[in-house]
Structure 1
């Protein structure tokens, strides 16, 4: 990955007292990774620009017609613009933030998204996914696992994903009204297969 050498800044290695500054540095860097470059989207198309964003933030993508997950930013395929369409996103332990979700606009082939241990995923992120017109049509499977900032409100927002076939929710301590939330989803999306692993 392009940023693979940025493992830990010196401030974290030398003095534990500077951990606050270290957290600020990483927060700033992650915000930089999530800044949307609209000119880049226009230049290379939504799938290529979104691929760059996702890999820059530590996520993986899989393209329509391919079995292999794209992991390496520097190994992104080249060639005809528009040839590689994102079919699946695995954002496990990535630093994707709400600010970057404009990159999802224009993605017309995304069928699967996995959000696992994403510390920056908020209810607003799930609402943004559910309000993205192209994802309302294409998204079939969604997994949300160990995202501590997600609450019932974020899960309820998913009712706009009218073609969603499978939803897996696990280890989400922010969900406090499980039964009520499940009932609303089932009424809104009667064909949805909902799998829960919640305490």
Structure 2
């Protein structure tokens, strides 16, 4: 259900994605990176959880208000969302994200994972990641995640674009020896 609503928000009448995905740097300056990223993620059908809270925030119209530095994104669940590469710069200022779940994200591709792994703050903060049923992800994108130097857990499931499973295992054993890598690939 969220998938359809999210896609409707992210697509223009021509079927091309636009609008909500573009990064508005002025908005980031005005409201801070966590609020701006929350707005982008929720408009695209994802959910966020803030530090110190158990409840997932999924309704854009009920985003919390208050001091800009009060709500820090700790976890992102992008299940069935329409997030895509053009919006990943929203995540540049996030310093507290520990978990990211990308499940059934039709627009996630290697460039998204490469961009995510280049963000210095995420390189430090991300501890857990799950990538499930994202059909455009290949070995190249997953291998880029080795830059997330504090990554402790990585689940890869139902990713038909992964062709060299053994090579990926070696990349992660070499670069992230303490990583728990779970593979459910055919």
TM-score, normalised via structure 2 length:
0.93
CA contact (8 A) 1:60 1:69 kept: yes
Regions of 4+ moved over 4 Å:
4-8
RMSD: 1.8
Q: Name the SS of the counterpart of 1:65 in structure 2.
A: coil
Structure 1 residues 189, 7: CA separation in 2 closer, same or farther (over 3 Å shift)? Answer: closer
Q: Which runs of 5+ in 2 are unaligned?
A: none
Q: Partner residue of 1:18?
A: none
Q: Name the SS of the counterpart of 1:134 in structure 2.
A: helix
What pairs with 1:175-190 in structure 2 (closer than 5 Å)?
A: 175-190=162-177
Instruction: Find out whether 1:86 has 2:73 as its counterpart.
Output: yes
Q: Deviation at 1:5?
A: 7.4
What pairs with 1:1-199 in structure 2 (closer than 5 Å)?
A: 25=13, 27-28=15-16, 30-199=17-186
Q: Name the SS of the counterpart of 1:69 in structure 2.
A: coil
CA contact (8 A) 2:49 2:55 kept: yes
Q: Deviation at 1:6?
A: 8.6
Q: Which runs of 5+ in 1 are unaligned?
A: 9-22
Q: Distance in 2 between matches of 1:69 and 1:151?
A: 29
Q: Deviation at 1:7?
A: 8.5
Q: Distance in 2 between matches of 1:150 and 1:5?
A: 23
CA contact (8 A) 1:34 1:53 kept: yes
Larger radius of gyration: 1
Q: How many residues align?
A: 181
